[in-house]
Amino acid sequence: MSYLLHIDSSSLGTDSISHQVALSFRDAWTGEVVHRDLATSPVPHLSAAGLSARVTDPARHTPEQAAAAAVQDELVEEFLGASAYLFTVPMYNYTMPSVFKAWMDQVLVEGRTLDFVNGPVSMGRPAVLVSARGGAYGPGTPNHGKDYLVPALESVLGDPHTLGLDLTTVTPELTLAPVRSALSGLIPLHEASLADAHEQARRLAEKIGQQLAA
């Protein structure tokens, strides 16, 4: 078994519900973990130097291209070296934190993590996405149709034309209920959603660990 790569993108650190649920996964995980906290150590957004470095002979890289390529190489090798993935990506303003988008843009590289002919190297590797959100976004809720995070990440992370991961999503909801008086009547629903998310995370860690050990 290789390592679990945990990419964390919450600005709230240990106070983050997404992070707390991810820790339930990690508490049940028995293998090695590589943790990258993008909130405390953000990666640079993709630049012109980074893009052009991908299609330029390394021997001809400018200093700016060489620096950008070094960042990209580190992130890509870290991604490819993992056998399983844990993504902590809370919903901010209906979508993902910008630090996570920056990480994806650095990692999605044709010929390395992307292969549009034979499929990606990471095809079928297990992954878990934990995404807490302040409200609820399912059918029948006022916010239904406004979740621009999970559908996007399920496409980028899980689609066979991109990273092709075997992705499972865990979404603890209504996290604002305990702190917004207008939502106080929804606290029981929040507590049930949170308890279910922690249990899902523990079960997934055990299941994926067993699969990789088999």
pTM over 0.85: yes
Query: Any bridge partners for residue 129, and if so which?
Result: 87, 169
- Is residue 52 packed enough to be buried (19+ CB in 10 Å), middle (13-18) or exposed (0-12)? middle
Q: Give Cα 93 to chain centroid, integer Å.
A: 17
Average pLDDT, the chain: 96
CB distance 88 to 7 below 8 Å: yes
Residues 206, 170: Cα–Cα separation, whole Å: 15
Kindly state the percentage of the chain with pLDDT values over 90. 96
201 pLDDT band, cuts 50/70/90, is very high
The sign one gets for the Cα dihedral 114, 117, 120, 125 is: positive
pLDDT of residue 214: 83
The 10s digit of each residue's pLDDT in 142-177 is 999 999 999 999 999 999 999 999 999 999 999 999
Q: How many structural domains is the chain composed of?
A: 1
What domain range is 17 assigned to? 3-213
Q: Provide mean pLDDT across the span 183-202.
A: 96
Residue with tokens 């507590």: 191
Query: Any bridge partners for residue 13, and if so which?
Result: none
Residue 85 tokens, joined:
């993935």
184 pLDDT band, cuts 50/70/90, is very high
pLDDT at 33 over 70: yes
pLDDT at 57 over 80: yes
The 10s digit of each residue's pLDDT in 127-144 is 999 999 999 999 999 999
The 10s digit of each residue's pLDDT in 101-116 is 999 999 999 999 999 9
pLDDT at 1 over 70: no
CB distance 179 to 159 below 8 Å: no
Q: What are the backbone angles phi and psi of residue 148, rounded to the nearest 5°?
A: -105, 15
Output the domain CATH number for residue 206: 3.40.50.360
